[in-house]
Amino acid sequence: MTVAGNTPADLGGEPRQWRQGSLVYGVGGLAVLFAWLLLGDFAWSLKERAVVPVAQVLLKQLQASDFFIALVVGSLPAALGMLLGPVIAVRSDRHRGPLGRRIPYLLLPTPPIVVGLLGMAATPWVGALLNELSGVSLRVCQLAWFSLMWTVFEIASVTANAVFGGLINDVVPQALVGRFYGLFRATSLLAGIGFSSQVLGYAEQQFSVIFVGIALIYGLCFALLCWRVREGHYPPPEPVPEEEGGWVGATQRYLRECFSHRFYVILFFAMMLGLVSGSPVNSFGVFYAKQVGLGLDGYGQALAVTYVFSLALALPVGWLADRFHPLRVGLVSIAAYAVCMVASGLWVQDARQFGLAFVLHGVVSGIYLTGTAALGQYLFPRASFAQFFSAMNLLAALGYMLVAPGMGVWLDATGSHYRHTFLASGALAAGSAFCYLMVARQMRGLGGFAAYRAP
């Protein structure tokens, strides 16, 4: 059954109906829409949650340094996001076509993502072939091939990630968006639970099989999502002034629209710091677990426990976001995360304490991520949602580029004392909480929480 709704329905005869732009849903249509979006979310979450830890394990097997791992796995995606994300977002906002303005930008990058994953799976064999042909050391050839395939994978991922949230903004009724993101988070956690508890422990021996499996799942699920979900009708985009044509004019217009208002700048920094606050722990947690004797299996089990707790909280937190506003939920949760991480950095000494602190990190940061998932839908201009979302991601990309490699350099210089990752995460979260307080104060002049109007 295709998700339809391009023609407004007669609201008088339906007991429950929801509108989003020109789309109209009854209970059944809404359920079908959510099912297809959540299927895509499952594949997207599996890609996001599984590929990075498996890539880290493979790179460690290839004797890559902490700095190299952070540079390739952390900074490269961030740099690509900075370059490509805004361009794709603006083009998507302004695109009008038979498939809508989001679906084409989700469909086209799907094959390159699959190719990149399959290429990473073939790293040992292709590296050996390159070694025979070139005479360059096997390790260098394998690292070079992996980095190339990772780049292909990330370029395509950046394209899809830049507009996936825009699709949700365009097709999910705003009155339900917090609860939808609760379901979104629950689906993501189920993917994480299954991977961490059943698959991650085999990453050192079976990384190729894991990469191939993710490639097949992602390719199939996103092809189905693009086929079955339908967007509504959009008003024509505002014409671009002749003097603002070309790359220079488009860049100036983008920067002026996104960064000229103080409210948005502070909001972007609050969201960016909240997103990257978990990066120090997430980037090096697997190595911390091995350092304190928890091991890869123990790390996977700790992740699974984290996901179980977060799964139980996903829907209640989504309801809280709709009931009390994502900004309030985000402020409270990121402040709590800051306190927890600083305490963990001062307290953790052994495997058991690390396991408890890591679960606390995952649960509290998960509350923040779920609670603020719909914040852009509440505060960004709806007609140019992807553009403003990309502006926030632009700063987030800069944050990821600096935080992960900077943490790697610090760890390499200090003998890999991984407890410092907790302290760094706590400091970043404290900065985010301060920015959210400033945003809350500025909202008073924009109608407040109840009658907010985007400036």
According to the model, what pLDDT value does residue 5 have?
A: 43
Q: Does residue 363 form part of some domain? A: yes
Specify the higher pLDDT residue, 439 or 300.
Answer: 439
- Provide the CATH number for the domain around residue 389: 1.20.1250.20
According to the model, what pLDDT value does residue 68 have?
A: 82
Residue 336 has pLDDT above 60, yes or no: yes
Q: In this structure, which long-range contacts are made by residues 19-27, counting pairs with CB atoms below 8 Å and at least 24 apart in sequence?
A: 19/173, 20/170, 20/171, 20/172, 20/173, 20/174, 20/232, 21/170, 21/232, 21/233, 21/234, 22/232, 22/233, 23/171, 23/231, 23/232, 25/173
**pLDDT tens figures, 26-48:** 888 889 999 999 999 899 888 88
Helix axes 326-347, 351-372, angle to 10 degrees: 170
pTM, full prediction: 0.71
Residue 9 has pLDDT above 80, yes or no: no
**pLDDT tens figures, 240-265:** 665 555 667 777 888 888 888 899 99
Q: Does residue 248 form part of some domain? A: no
Residue 7 has pLDDT above 50, yes or no: no
According to the model, what pLDDT value does residue 342 have?
A: 93
- Residues 12-24: what's their mean pLDDT? 73
**pLDDT tens figures, 270-279:** 999 999 999 8
Which pLDDT band, with edges at 50, 70 and 90, does 337 fall under?
very high
Q: Does residue 240 form part of some domain? A: no
Q: Does residue 196 form part of some domain? A: yes
Least confident interval from 103-112, 125-134, 295-304: 295-304
Q: Does residue 7 form part of some domain? A: no
Q: Which residues contact 146 (CB under 8 A, 6 or more apart)?
A: 55, 58, 59, 62, 72, 120, 123, 127
The tally of domains found in the chain comes to: 1
**pLDDT tens figures, 73-82:** 867 776 777 7
Residue 2 has pLDDT above 60, yes or no: no
Q: Does residue 400 form part of some domain? A: yes
Secondary structure (3-state) at 24: strand
Q: Does residue 175 form part of some domain? A: yes
Range of the domain at 145: 18-232+260-446
**pLDDT tens figures, 223-242:** 999 999 988 888 888 776 65
Q: Does residue 441 form part of some domain? A: yes
